[in-house]
Amino acid sequence: MRELLALCVKERVLSDPEYNCPICGVELAYFSRYPNYICDLCVSQATDGNGRALVFFNTHMAGGLVAVYSDTNEKRTGHGCFVRGKQCYADAAYMGGIVLEIDA
């Protein structure tokens, strides 16, 4: 286990470039799995195409994604959303939680 961890750390140092949120520019950790992900603050500003605020939840512990309009608690289908006018895609993160990536 310790060897595995050391290997991961080494790989991180060697291969990971600097990464900044593609929307607001804040410094973030780089994850090769999510090469275009945006920061939590930007995630909290997600809206649909009409500017209605959206929040995202996991549908169960291991993942799954549901989007809900924060004004009415109405469920919304689909993964597409907008943050500051940029098109993004929401998905359940590999280890649980939510990740939003900018549509490159």
Q: Shortest approach of Zn ion to residue 102 CB, angstroms?
A: 10
Q: Shortest approach of Zn ion to residue 35 CB, angstroms?
A: 15
DSSP string across 8-54: HHHHHHHHPPPEE-TTT--EE---TT-TTB--HHHHTT-B-TT--BE
Q: Shortest approach of Zn ion to residue 24 CB, angstroms?
A: 3
Q: Which is nearer to Zn ion, 8 or 24 (CB)?
A: 24
Q: Which is nearer to Zn ion, 92 or 100 (CB)?
A: 100
Shortest CA distance to 23 belongs to which of 91, 93, 100, 83? Answer: 83
Q: Which is nearer to Zn ion, 9 or 26 (CB)?
A: 26
Are 46 and 53 in contact by the 8 Å Cβ rule? The answer is yes
Q: Shortest approach of Zn ion to residue 40 CB, angstroms?
A: 8
3-class SS at 53? strand
Positions touching Zn ion (CB under 5 A) are 21, 23-24, 39, 42
Q: Which is nearer to Zn ion, 23 or 54 (CB)?
A: 23
